Structure 1
Amino acid sequence: MISGVILAGGESRRMGGQDKGLLEFAGQPLVQHAIQRIAPQVDELIISANRNLAAYAAFGYALVSDDSAGFLGPLAGMLAGMRAAQYEWVLTVPCDTPFLPGDLVSRLYQATEGVDMVVASAARIHATVMLCRRSLAANLAEALAQGERKVQRWQAMQRRAIVEFEDESAFANLNTPQQLTGARHDGQQSD
């Protein structure tokens, strides 16, 4: 049994401060694409958001917010999701990756033996696409309290595995207005 957490709580500085998860892509909000990709692969779905909570609640899934005031980055959203999760393994994905693979969870889960965390890679590590044990929440809370904000630095301190995916476009982040309008619905970047 696996909990899934969609990270939609960021500042979206590269999107001019707009709430990225609610921006339209191919006729629906970015977060809806993430929901459609992840919901069939997990047993529970949670959205981690820090603003526009009514809009996110309308998707019909559990909603959590960072425990701390201000935007502390994805680690804070991961922690909120881990604390709310009811299952031992917790998947996290960002809301701006609309093309995630349909076998993401099964591929990550196959690599869990002997580790506490499995991170996706496709040409490079995609640190926020991670399957980790819920029991790492205390460790993560301590790291945040000590000022850690870098996901990969925290992950490097854990017993982890990295799973390589061949299709780099499946992990494309739509971080800027240009990327949002330049991406095609099939996962390929247009010229």
Structure 2
Amino acid sequence: MERFPAIILAGGRATRMGGGDKPLLDLGGRPMLAHVIVRLSRQCGPLALNANGDPARFAAFGLPVLADDLPGFPGPLAGILAGMEWAAAVGAATVVSVAADTPFFPADLATRLARARTDAGPVIAATQDASGALADHPTFGLWPVALRDPLRRFLKAGQRRLRDFAARHDAGRAVWKTAAIDPFFNINTPEDLARARAGPGERSSG
């Protein structure tokens, strides 16, 4: 299976956590970001980090740090665009995206995303509950770098919703059945962080 390059999206402002760098918060004795890097490095090729501000605060992780090149914190799509540009520069046709605040994402993420491709479009992750209802997790996706110009135009037009961009380009879905522990549980608040620290997922995150 091809080992795609991957971008870790850490460009948000963490307002619900009180600001600061959420990926640097402690989880099981190491930064949350360290869990993400370990899990992702087992699945993908070169990794990069999308983050804004002084990149030196992430120097210990040894990854290239890619800032948004559009003003105003446009959200995760800007990070995906940065990842597309970086992946294109290293000669890759696609890039995987993951969120830096979701440290328990599936160990088979990249494989399942790749298997869900049906054409040249993107693929996003989704979960399905016992009733059959789907919940999309579009920050986790496989993105053709050929979409970087349409994505830049989308953002410059003031569009921000990741789901809207994915739908516009007929994104496929890789679907995971909902388990007792949601693999796409993201840590947005202090309460979420407490749950992650207390839960069994932390001990198996890498």
* Fold agreement, TM-score > 0.5: yes
1:55 deviates by 2.0
Contact 2:118 / 2:172 at 8 angstroms: preserved in 1?
no
Match of 1:182 in 2: 195
CA distance in 2 between partners of 1:167 and 1:27 (Å): 28
Match of 1:159 in 2: 170
Match of 2:136 in 1: 125
Counterpart of 1:138 (choices 149, 172, 192) is 149
CA distance in 2 between partners of 1:31 and 1:185 (Å): 17
Contact 2:121 / 2:144 at 8 angstroms: preserved in 1?
yes
Counterpart of 1:83 (choices 73, 82, 85) is 85
1:70 deviates by 2.8
Match of 2:10 in 1: 8
Task: Give the secondary-structure state (helix, strand or coil) at the position aligned to 1:154.
Answer: helix
Aligned pair 1:101/2:106, yes or no? yes
CA distance in 2 between partners of 1:52 and 1:176 (Å): 23
Match of 1:22 in 2: 24
Structure 1, unmatched stretches of 5+, are: none
Deviates more, 1:144-153 or 1:81-90: 81-90
CA distance in 2 between partners of 1:159 and 1:132 (Å): 12
1:167 deviates by 4.0
Counterpart of 2:159 (choices 148, 157, 169) is 148
Contact 1:74 / 1:128 at 8 angstroms: preserved in 2?
yes
Residues 24-39 of structure 1 aligned to structure 2 (within 5 Å): 24-39=26-41
Structure 2, unmatched stretches of 5+, are: 129-134
Match of 1:65 in 2: 67
1:140-183 C-alpha deviation (Å, 9 max, x unpaired): 00000000111101111003111111245111001111100122
1:52 deviates by 4.3
Q: Which runs of 4+ in 1 moved over 4 A?
A: none
Query: What RMSD, in angstroms, separates the aligned Cα atoms of the two structures?
Result: 1.5
1:29 deviates by 1.2
CA distance in 1 between partners of 2:15 and 2:29 (Å): 23
1:126-145 C-alpha deviation (Å, 9 max, x unpaired): 01001110111111000000
Task: Give the secondary-structure state (helix, strand or coil) at the position aligned to 2:138.
Answer: strand
Aligned pair 1:49/2:51, yes or no? yes
* TM-score, L = length of structure 1: 0.93
CA distance in 2 between partners of 1:111 and 1:162 (Å): 6
CA distance in 1 between partners of 2:56 and 2:178 (Å): 35
* TM-score, L = length of structure 2: 0.86
